[in-house]
Amino acid sequence: MQIEQPFRINAAQPDKLKQFLPQPLIISSPVAGWNGFYFAYHRQLNYQLPETSPFQNIITIYTREFQAKLKINGHWQSKSYAPTDVGIFPADQISPAVQFEQELGFIHIGLEPAMITRVAYESVNADAVEIVQQLQTHDPLIQQIGLTLKQEIENSGFDSSLYIESAVNLLAVHLLKRYSTQKFIIREYTDGLPKHKLKEAIAYINDNLDQNLSLAEIAAIAQISPHYFASLFKQSMGIAPHQYITKCRVERAKYLLASFFIC
């Protein structure tokens, strides 16, 4: 007797989910993602999924209350979900088959394992990081991050990649702190970035203001993880990296506009 294998979900290939979804995705991030991050939002009615196993770590955020049936250990079980409930489905782990019988809204956030490792490497043994599956958990912070990302993408499109990346790094840190099999302790820094690293980062920002800067590439200049770079940069400058870049771009636009009228 042949055992049916779980369906492999790849957030980088959202079109392959069409066979299960009655309605198309409303929002879907570019296939390339943002440094290992994927976002999707959709509303569905009366559909079901077989057992699945994702390539990425998938965080599912529910935007309204609903009922669902999950097949756990061969038996269907009914569950009630509230708008502040979320599901966490780690990469390469099997998730149960599920049936939805009501209209519901989903936010899906996909994080590549390498991104979790990148966030973790300064605090734990990154090679042994493992996220614990949560079929249903109450987590207002994850809910808030998901809704903030949705609002930012709807209002600003996919151009605010550095702001989005900062929010996703916060999400990754939260997953490691609350849902990792290892104890994850945030290191406390109080002195900001070393002066030479701050100078290098600022120079890189000013030299590339016309580019689509990412938090990861700026953090690489300082040779630290994006999460710690964002924290230390804010301590040094008083504002977050994405706010600083926006300020620099506004100042440059003012300068260019003034130069135009002088000419």
Q: What is the pLDDT of residues 222-243, one digit of tens each?
A: 888 787 788 888 888 888 888 8
Residue 188, pLDDT score:
58
Q: What is the pLDDT of residues 35-74, one digit of tens each?
A: 678 898 988 888 888 999 999 999 999 988 888 999 998 8
Cβ-in-10-Å burial (0-12, 13-18, 19+) of 125 comes to exposed
Could you state, in order of their start, the residue ranges of all structural domains in the chain? 7-179, 195-262
Residue 230, pLDDT score:
83
* Alpha carbon distances (Å) from 12 to 15, 17, 95, 193, 228: 9, 11, 18, 34, 27
Distance of alpha carbon 67 from alpha carbon 136, whole angstroms: 12
Residues of the chain with pLDDT under 50: 1-2
CATH architecture of 195-262: Orthogonal Bundle (1.10)
Residue 1, pLDDT score:
43
1.25.40.10, 2.60.120.810, 2.30.30.40, 2.40.50.100: CATH of 7-179:
2.60.120.810
Residue 54, pLDDT score:
93
* Alpha carbon distances (Å) from 68 to 59, 81, 90, 96, 178: 17, 8, 20, 12, 25
Residue 122, pLDDT score:
58
Is the pTM above the cut of 0.85? no
Residue 233, pLDDT score:
87
Could you tell me which residues come within 8 angstroms of residue 152 by beta carbon, excluding any fewer than 6 positions away?
Answer: 160, 163, 164, 167
142, 167 contact by CB (below 8 A) = no
Residue 109, pLDDT score:
93
The tokens describing 101, both together, are 């019988």
